[in-house]
Amino acid sequence: MSDPISLPRPAPFPARVSAFFWEGVDTDELRVQRCSDCGELRFPPRPMCPDCHAVAWNTETLSGEGRVYSWIRPVHPRLPMFAEDTIVALIDLAPGVRLVSNLCDVALEDVEKDMPVEVFFIDLGEGRRLHQFRPRSERSGG
């Protein structure tokens, strides 16, 4: 059996409502929407506030520190642009936002619920970046 072909990791394809998020990632920032009317954070990005139905919003930049909520190592079907040991995780970020990303620099068996993590960004080429998370020590910020 031959080795799987390694393809480049695909860059995200932003929609109009999520473009601000991906523009932030390209500059090493995690951005979320905050409703201009009621002040609630909304993520994933959407055109209307689910709480008060307002369409006006502002952008807020997050610290990138959070905790692991849940995780999995996908095994089937094998996608050639992802390493076999890729860990997909739901990350709870400090202000109450949850997002999907990859968890790096840790073995699957060492991941724990509520493990403190921090964001870092990888280069996809052509000016595109992607957010990833890695464990952080409680001493380094949280």
- Residue 138's pLDDT band, with cuts at 50, 70 and 90, is low
As annotated, the residues of the chain forming the CATH 2.40.50 domain(s) are 63-142
Q: Strands, DSSP E only, in the chain?
A: 30-35, 41-42, 57-62, 65-72, 87-93, 97-103, 116-125, 128-135
Condensed to tens digits (0 to 9), the pLDDT of residues 78-97 reads 777 777 788 999 999 988 89
Q: Is the dihedral of CA 96, 102, 106, 108 positive or negative?
A: positive
Condensed to tens digits (0 to 9), the pLDDT of residues 40-57 reads 999 999 999 999 999 999
Torsion angle of alpha carbons 49, 54, 59, 64, nearest 10°? -20
b/e map 64-92, b = 16+ CB within 10 Å: bbbbbeebeeeeeeeeeeeeeebbebbbb
Above 50 in pLDDT, residue 101? yes
CATH number for 63-142: choose from 3.30.1130, 2.40.50, 3.40.50, 2.60.40.
Answer: 2.40.50
pTM of the model: 0.86
